[in-house]
Amino acid sequence: MLIVKKFGGSSVANKERIFNVAERCIEEYKKGNKVVVVLSAMGDTTDDLLAKAAEINEDAPKREMDMLLATGEQVSVSLMAMAMAKLGVPAVSLNAFQVPMHTSSKYMNARFKKIDGERITAELEQGKIVIVTGFQGVNKYDDVTTLGRGGSDTTAVALAAALNADACEIYTDVEGVYTADPRVVPNARKMKEVSYDEMLELATLGAKVLHNRSVEMAKKYNVPLVVRSSLTKAEGTVVKEVTKVESMLVSGVAVDKDAARIAIVGLKNQPGIAFKVFDLLAKHNINVDVILQSIGRDDTKDISFTVDQTQAKECVQLLKDNQERLTIQNIKEEENVAKLSIVGAGMQSNAGVAAKMFEALYDVGVNIRMIATSEIRITVLIDLDDVKVAMKAVHDKFLDE
Amino acid sequence: MLIVKKFGGSSVANKERIFNVAERCIEEYKKGNKVVVVLSAMGDTTDDLLAKAAEINEDAPKREMDMLLATGEQVSVSLMAMAMAKLGVPAVSLNAFQVPMHTSSKYMNARFKKIDGERITAELEQGKIVIVTGFQGVNKYDDVTTLGRGGSDTTAVALAAALNADACEIYTDVEGVYTADPRVVPNARKMKEVSYDEMLELATLGAKVLHNRSVEMAKKYNVPLVVRSSLTKAEGTVVKEVTKVESMLVSGVAVDKDAARIAIVGLKNQPGIAFKVFDLLAKHNINVDVILQSIGRDDTKDISFTVDQTQAKECVQLLKDNQERLTIQNIKEEENVAKLSIVGAGMQSNAGVAAKMFEALYDVGVNIRMIATSEIRITVLIDLDDVKVAMKAVHDKFLDE
């Protein structure tokens, strides 16, 4: 078996944890498996490097940011190889140049284009554990790139796909994917299995166990993913194409507190105006999520939508700059909102799921601000203060057994 | 003009110093020159990384040590590029892979084999300042190597040679090469010029301004070197092939306190015994310096020699392991010794220089333990306690004007 194992920054934050990870990998290796390990930068390293850069230049060239940030993972992988050597197992660390892992040219947010498995395969054939830097790549200019948030998960999945691995295990500080955040909903349960699509919705909606790009890639290349704990030996959650036959109606509840709601009021009721608004935002790479359009007063339109809080200021400014052209009378921004979602492949064939969710929220007096749905998901926008009570109510309605 | 400038770790130890270096480079750039900057790792970074590695594995694989250590310079160069961008000048940082700078395969002590100047030249043509990681290379396996002590000086000289640079400036925390250590000999003077050979002897003998490998390479490729201060604008010392016609009799006095004296007593007086001793040491990479052989009692030989203190223990052990075969009666080791040397191209054509040096030492009551000479150098081994008084006496004899 060829197994790709990915460990995040907190799993390699100090000497003890590095040896803990080394031992887990060696255990697998001693069973006769081939082991490829993907690591993030240790603990707060990336934040420290970002702070160092900001001290020098708050608007530093992104190419140089990547050159700087990529050192973090290189430190992790070399120290891990040293730890394995100490434990008597041959290991070799590889950075993005050495694999090589080719990406697009876009600094700080690159995408994998091609991963060459030759060197890794040769090292594995020599009986070594191979330790690869997560989060980074090399572009056509031979420059270092990084993949943006959740990049190391994506590296692990991309390597698993390129090497045709038998499993890709993502180690994290929780034991798997839960039906809801266990810190908020005490009776939340760990899922045994979840489909790519469900996981994708959950990831996108703020269940921060896996980054959605890694799930998308796993789905595309049919990489069997397992999410499990780096601290315990619990079994974790399997993410794969088809889950159990009698699919749960709802498999999980997710909350995203990082949303901001933007309302633009009093637009002229003429064709193409909504297109112009969202085309403008798209051109500036602002990701719009839930959209709601309603008729305003005096035959005008009101449009509300959510964006990530980090993009809210830029979005509002952009709308202001184009206020006249877009015939906007008024722009409002609101950050004390959260998206609450239920996800489940079973929804597709079951009417009344939405109604049941709204009932649960009504029962505990939670006001619904906006609604959006996909085939396997229902999302509502609620006040930030209502998150806990709403999450528990919805979870109990669908998932408490 | 194409100028290569090298700055050591203390010159880029913090934000202020990074900007200081950036400004000096930009000043040169704005005169219309092409500027290539070579940097070491910031401040104590390399020591910190070594400590981290030692915590994990005191006998870590050298390949992984290099993978780890190379991150230090990558941080420096990327931050420097950010600083220059902040000051409005286009700059690009390059690591060993990107240049690329090919070395031999020997980890932690690699030698340059071939430097490809194409990428650097292209970046310079685009009007950028190019900032290159010192101390590191890449070998034929695509693995990261480091060059060992003084590696960044060597990188600067090698780049200057490969790019056919008009000058190679080594910035340090002193203003140039002095006739003696100014902290010990207050009337020591800064030399305006010194020849490669003289500098090589001085470097080898412990004047730690330039690493001898960089001087060797500068001599080989006839790279004009300048040693100057990163803190002041003083002119510095030029190192080149031929110095002024009426060469100084003695150009400098150097001290090496890192020597240990080893004496092996009572060897059989038979041919080949000295060969066997030094062949054994050479095979174990122990560098032997001053050697003295004398006739012992009962028709035996005594041999004394100096080695670097870091190799003394290993050397003694090696001799003990072979004591019988080498017919050694007794082995003594002594660390409280120092090598004091005078260097000068003018010595070649002047008799009596050695006598004058011995006279200076005799005048202040310093006992000479061993003597060694080359064409342009005289070295004596003295007690460590005598260093200050001896250095001053010799300097005053030859160099006080």
pLDDT in tens, B43-58: 999 999 999 999 999 9
Specify the CATH number for B2-172; select among 3.40.1170.60, 3.30.465.10, 3.40.1160.10, 3.30.70.2190.
3.40.1160.10
Confidence of residue B345 (pLDDT cuts 50, 70, 90): confident
- For the CA atoms of B151, B152, B157, B163, what is the dihedral angle to 10 degrees? 120
Q: Mean pLDDT in runs of 10 for chain A (401 residues)?
A: 95 95 97 97 94 96 97 98 98 97 94 95 98 97 91 95 95 87 85 88 73 89 92 89 63 88 87 83 83 76 87 92 91 91 78 82 88 82 92 88 60
Smallest CA–CA distance, residue B105 to chain A, in Å, is 15
pLDDT in tens, A99-151: 999 999 999 999 999 999 999 999 999 999 999 999 999 999 999 999 987 89
Average pLDDT over residues B114-131: 97
State whether B63 and A142 contact (CB < 8 Å): no
Q: Three-class SS string for chain B?
A: CEEEEEECHHHHCCHHHHHHHHHHHHHHHHCCCEEEEEECCCCCHHHHHHHHHHHHCCCCCHHHHHHHHHHHHHHHHHHHHHHHHHCCCCEEEECCCCCCEEECCCCCCCCEEEECCHHHHHHHHCCCEEEEECCEEECCCCCEEECCCCHHHHHHHHHHHHCCCCEEEEEECCCCCECCCCCCCCCCCECCEEEHHHHHHHHHCCCCCCCHHHHHHHHHCCCCEEEEECCCCCCCEEEECCCCCCCCCCCEEEEECCEEEEEEEEEECCCCHHHHHHHHHHHCCCCEEEEEEEECCCCEEEEEEEEEHHHHHHHHHHHHHCCCCCCCCEEEEECCEEEEEEECHHHHHCCCHHHHHHHHHHHCCCCCCEEEEECCEEEEEEEHHHHHHHHHHHHHHHHCC
Burial (CB count within 10 angstroms: exposed 0-12, middle 13-18, buried 19+), residue A1:
exposed
State whether B67 and A74 contact (CB < 8 Å): yes
State whether B81 and A61 contact (CB < 8 Å): yes
For A205-260, give the DSSP string: TT-TTS-HHHHHHHHHTTPPEEEEESSS----EEEESS--SS--S--EEEEE--EE
Burial (CB count within 10 angstroms: exposed 0-12, middle 13-18, buried 19+), residue B141:
exposed
Q: How far is CA A72 from CA A75, A79, B120, B319, in A?
A: 5, 11, 25, 44
Chain B interface, best mutation among A23, A74, A79, A128, by max B CB count within 10 A: A79
Q: Percent of chain B having pLDDT more than 90?
A: 56
Predicted pLDDT of residue A205: 67
Give strand pairing partners of B262. B305, B333
Predicted pLDDT of residue B245: 46
Nearest-angstrom CA–CA distance, A65 and A80: 24
Contacts of B19 in chain A (CB under 8 A): 56
Confidence of residue B205 (pLDDT cuts 50, 70, 90): low
State whether B85 and A49 contact (CB < 8 Å): no
Find the chain A residues whose C-beta atoms sit closer than 8 A to any C-beta of B. 15, 18-19, 49, 52-53, 55-57, 60-61, 63-65, 67-68, 70-71, 74-75, 77-79, 81-83, 85-86, 92-93, 95, 97-98, 119, 142-144
Contacts of A67 in chain B (CB under 8 A): 74, 77-78, 81, 93, 95
pLDDT in tens, B19-34: 999 999 999 999 999 9
State whether A74 and B71 contact (CB < 8 Å): yes
How many CB atoms within 10 Å of residue B31?
10
Nearest-angstrom CA–CA distance, A258 and A195: 25
> Higher confidence at residue B252 or residue B130?
B130
Nearest-angstrom CA–CA distance, A74 and A120: 16
pLDDT > 60? residue B243: no
Predicted pLDDT of residue A244: 57
Task: State the sign of the Cα–Cα–Cα–Cα dihedral A346, A348, A351, A355.
Answer: positive
State whether A78 and B86 contact (CB < 8 Å): no
Predicted pLDDT of residue B299: 79
Residue of B nearest to A80 (CA): B56
> Higher confidence at residue B149 or residue A54?
A54
Chain A interface, best mutation among B78, B94, B102, B131, by max A CB count within 10 A: B78
Token pair recorded at residue A109: 């947010």
State whether B18 and A56 contact (CB < 8 Å): yes
Average pLDDT over residues B114-126: 96
pLDDT > 80? residue B2: yes
Confidence of residue B316 (pLDDT cuts 50, 70, 90): very high
State whether A119 and B142 contact (CB < 8 Å): yes
Smallest CA–CA distance, residue A103 to chain B, in Å, is 16
Predicted pLDDT of residue A281: 86
Predicted pLDDT of residue A245: 46
Average pLDDT over residues B85-111: 96
Q: Which of B15, B61, B142 sits opposite A81 (nearest CB)?
A: B61
Nearest-angstrom CA–CA distance, B15 and B18: 5
Predicted pLDDT of residue A248: 62
Pairing of β A337-343 and β A377-383? antiparallel
Entry pTM: 0.81
Task: State the sign of the Cα–Cα–Cα–Cα dihedral A162, A165, A171, A175.
Answer: positive
